[in-house]
Amino acid sequence: MYFRCGLTLLYKSLYTPIGRTPQPIWGSLSRSLVLSPQRRIPEFNSFVARTNTCGELRSSHLGQEVTLCGWIQYRRQNMFLVLRDFHGLVQVIIPQEESAASVKKILCEAPVESVVQVSGTVISRPPGQENPKMPTGEIEIEVKAAELLNSCKKLPFEIKDFVKKTEALRLRYRYLDLRSSQMQYNLRLRSQMVMKMREYLCNLHGFVDIETPTLFKKTPGGAKEFVVPSREPGKFYSLPQSPQQFKQLLMVGGLDRYFQVARCYRDEGSRPDRQPEFTQIDIEMSFVDQTGIQSLIEGLLQYSWPKDKDPVVVPFPSMTFAEALSTYGTDKPDTRFGMKIVDISDVFRNTKIGFLQDVLNKPQGTIKAICIPEGAYLQRKDIETIRKFATEQFNQEVLPVFLKANRNWNSPVAKSIMEEQRLGLIRLLEIQEEDVVLLTAGEHKETCSLLGKLRLECADLLEARGVVLRDPALFSFLWVVDFPLFLPKEENPGELESAHHPFTAPHPSDIHLLYTEPEKVRSQHYDLVLNGSEIGGGSIRIHNAELQHYVLATLLKEDVKLLSHLLQALDYGAPPHGGIALGLDRLICLITGAASIRDVIAFPKSFQGHDLMSNVPDYIPPEELKPYHIQVSRPADSEAEKSLLNHPPHPET
Ligand code: ASP
């Protein structure tokens, strides 16, 4: 069973150092902090009423008197009971003798998921009755005493992995959902990775774990922040979107190497891989450059990587932002499979196909394509959906070309593709029989973005039809570098906004452009991508107050007063510094293969940002709002909302 095998491996992995183990740098102090390589399995039974965990018992325990505590997983014919704790399952024999009637009564009457304590002897199962699928399958417990610690009422759902339940129900009864083997595995793996990360950063590389405030000030630009009222009329705190300013100020403060498992808050609309509150492994270092941060992160991931997964291979490959966009149509390419975007403009220079001609006559016009291997698995309706998506979302035409056997091309424009063009396409796209080519024309960025989306869409469609494109065991890391420092603002393309954040330093070779063509400046910003998801990002920072002021005030038109403390600090001998933050929830989600980041967070918010268990956000009575000088015009004043208050909506996700 996945749970037990997974946990066993998990515990094993914790005690075997992974990858290279750098020497501690702190002499005698570090020696007491660094754990010995012969670390033992943790002592699960210290301080508590049990002698053993359910999951640990084996033939080597035969004859031992044990006391176990756990939940009743199931009972068979009032003869056997399976007891579960976080470590696994064990079979308990319910005594049938008259003298043990009280023990029998407890074990037979307690409902499933009741908590019991049993004491008895570890005996071997009768020959032929061993269960090889169960790690404890060679033994069972002959019970002598039992105590019902707490009875369980009828559950809203069964605690069994195979029982399907909606996510809303799981979130509403999260404390029950946490009993599932998958949640247990995910949270324990998360805890162990974080432990290894702390060990690597603090014990092996001299980082200092520092907590920074969560009640803070509005930060210009970036994500929307949650606000917290204060008792001073009209004044609010903001919850930080990240400890960015504090970590830089810690460098000014001479802390040199900072890290924190930091809680961050962003009041953004819900997306499948976002949470309003989330956790980052937040890092900052003085006197470092981009390659220094990258090596640190590669070592950190290699060191903390779970032992039951394929080891992480370092260094990670690197790709410029420009290349990522032109080959994969995104700044977070999934490099586990090909289907790269190819510019085929030259093949069609003399085309007679009207709309291609029109595009090529425009100054920025290009023709691009992706080749979908085994695209024959795509159905007509898939192609129609793809074409509709392209027109509706991108206002672009997509032409499919089906390559049937014997090179018979099937496409709305097949007849207009000349032999020479056909050969050119075959060469550039490395087309084979049964492939499908998707071709589109337009401006570079738009065509790349569209084909990037279609590439992923087609991969999903093909995988749904059984074609394996992405190996689920493969972890494909990639650094994306040389981002532009600024992007045109979405709502007003005449103005600039930071591609990362306003503290990011320009690329040293582009600094002169800041004063002439700022939109052309590359930055010292790097993102870490894993299997097509951004799992981290950071930059070398501006440590010169004058330059930071220029970027904020002149280029970004931000209110510098909001950042006067930081600007002032940069003027008092700020060292050159840089850092990064890894999104812990996303990272663990990818490693565990969880369906959503909510599956690696103990108490996540729903898709709409609600806690379905405790029902927050919630109303606060007006008298409690008075000290904050806040008056709310409550929607509850309307009749409809009143009824909503009385009958809260059914939980959602
Ligand atoms: N604070 C940044 C973020 O949250 C990361 C960094 O630049 O270190 O994305």
Query: What per-residue confidence (pLDDT) applies to 189?
Result: 97
Would you state the pLDDT for residue 320? 97
Q: What is the predicted pLDDT for the residue at 595?
A: 92
CA of 485 to the centre of ligand 1 (A): 14
- 605 residue type, one letter: K
What are 317-333's pLDDT values in tens digits?
Answer: 999 999 999 999 999 99
215 CA from centroid of ligand 1 (Å): 18
Supply the pLDDT for residue 35.
36
Does pLDDT of 646 surpass 90? no
How many angstroms is it from 472 CA to the middle of ligand 1? 28
CA of residue 537 to ligand 1 center, whole Å: 6
427 compared with 334, residue with greater pLDDT: 334
Q: Given a cut of 90, is residue 488 above it in pLDDT?
A: yes
Which ligand 1 atom sits nearest the alpha carbon of residue 243? 1
> Residue 381 and residue 73: Cα distance in Å, rounded?
46
pLDDT tens for 549-562 read 999 999 999 999 99
| pLDDT, position 420 | 86
In single-letter form, the type of residue at position 61 comes to H
* pLDDT at residue 24 greater than cutoff 80: no
pLDDT confidence of residue 533: 97
From 167-171, 368-372, 427-431, 638-642, the region with the lowest mean pLDDT: 638-642
Q: Is the pLDDT of residue 650 over 60?
A: no
> Is it the case that residue 227 has pLDDT exceeding 80?
yes
The alpha carbon dihedral of 600, 606, 612, 615 has a sign of positive
Mean pLDDT of the chain: 89
Mean pLDDT value across residues 9-35: 34
Identify the burial level of 192 via C-beta atoms within 10 angstroms of its C-beta, where 0-12 means exposed, 13-18 middle and 19 or more buried. middle
pLDDT tens by residue, 128-165: 999 999 999 999 999 999 999 999 999 999 998 888 89
pLDDT of residue 642: 53
* pLDDT band at residue 172 using 50, 70 and 90 as cut-offs: very high
- Asked whether residue 509 carries a pLDDT value surpassing 50, the answer given is yes
Q: Which CB contacts under 8 angstroms, 24+ apart, belong to 598-604?
A: 598/167, 598/171, 598/275, 599/182, 599/183, 599/186, 600/186, 600/187, 600/190, 601/275, 601/278, 602/174, 602/178, 602/187, 603/174, 604/171, 604/275
Please give the pLDDT value at position 121: 98
pLDDT the model gives residue 274: 86
The per-residue pLDDT for 505 is 98
For a substitution probing ligand 1, which of 225, 244, 281 has the most ligand atoms within 8 Å of its CB? 244
Mean pLDDT, range 109-129, rounded to an integer? 97
What tens digit of pLDDT does each residue of 30-43 get? 333 333 444 567 89
Please indicate whether residue 493 or residue 142 has the higher confidence score (pLDDT).
142
- Work out whether strand 139-150 and strand 88-93 pair parallel, antiparallel, or are unpaired: parallel
Split at pLDDT 50, 70, 90, the class of 377 is confident
56 residue type, one letter: E
For residue 517, report the distance from its CA to the centre of ligand 1, in Å: 25
In this prediction, residues 473-492 reach a mean pLDDT of 94
Residue 645 confidence class, pLDDT cut points 50, 70, 90: low
Task: Please report, for residues 29, 375, 462, 463, the alpha-carbon distance to residue 467 in angstroms, rounded to integers and kept in the order given.
Answer: 55, 10, 5, 5
Query: Does ligand 1 lie within 6 Å of residue 580's CB atom?
Result: yes
* Ligand 1 atom nearest to 525, measured from its CA: 7
**What is the model's pLDDT at position 2?**
34
Helix axis angle, 290-304 to 181-198, nearest 10°: 130
Neighbours of 221 (CB within 10 A): 15
Give residue 586's pLDDT. Answer: 97
- pLDDT category of residue 314 using cuts at 50, 70 and 90: very high
Give the integer Cα–Cα distance in Å for 348 and 318. Answer: 32
Task: Say whether pLDDT at 635 is over 90.
Answer: no
- State the closest ligand 1 atom to the C-alpha of 280, by its place in the atom list counted from 1: 4
Question: Mean pLDDT, to the nearest integer, of 446-475?
Answer: 93
Q: For position 15, what pLDDT does the model report?
A: 34
pLDDT for residue 491: 84
- Measured CA to CA in angstroms, residue 332 lies from 274, 489, 516, 530 at distances of 16, 20, 29, 8
Is ligand 1 within 6 A of the CB of residue 539? yes
Is 80 exceeded by the pLDDT of residue 458?
yes
Better-scored residue on pLDDT, 486 or 419: 486
Which residues touch 607 (CB under 8 Å, ≥6 apart)? 270, 272, 652, 653
Distance, CA 402 to ligand 1 centroid (Å)? 44
**pLDDT band (50, 70, 90) for residue 351:** confident
**242 CA distance to ligand 1 middle (Å):** 7
The pLDDT of 208-234, averaged and rounded, is: 93
SS3 146: strand
**DSSP H stretches of helix in 519-563:** 545-549
Percent of the chain exceeding pLDDT 70 equals 90
Nearest CA to ligand 1 atom 8: 580
Answer whether 538 contacts ligand 1 (Cβ < 6 A). Answer: yes
CA distance 470 to 456: 11
Cα atoms in the 13 Å half-sphere on the side-chain side of 499: 25
How high is the pLDDT of residue 37?
43
pLDDT band of residue 578 (cuts 50, 70, 90) is: very high
Ligand 1: centre distance to CA 295 (Å): 17
Query: What are the DSSP calls for 149-180, one per residue?
Result: EE-----SS-S-TTS---HHHHHHTHHHHTTS
- Among 219, 282, 483, which residue has the most ligand 1 atoms within 8 Å of its CB, making it the best to mutate? 282
Could you read off the pLDDT of 238-258 as tens digits, one per residue? 999 999 999 999 999 999 999
- CB of residue 581 inside a 6 A radius of ligand 1: yes
- For the segment 67-84, the average pLDDT, to the nearest whole number, is 96
CA distance 510 to 294: 21
**Does residue 29 carry a pLDDT above 50?**
no
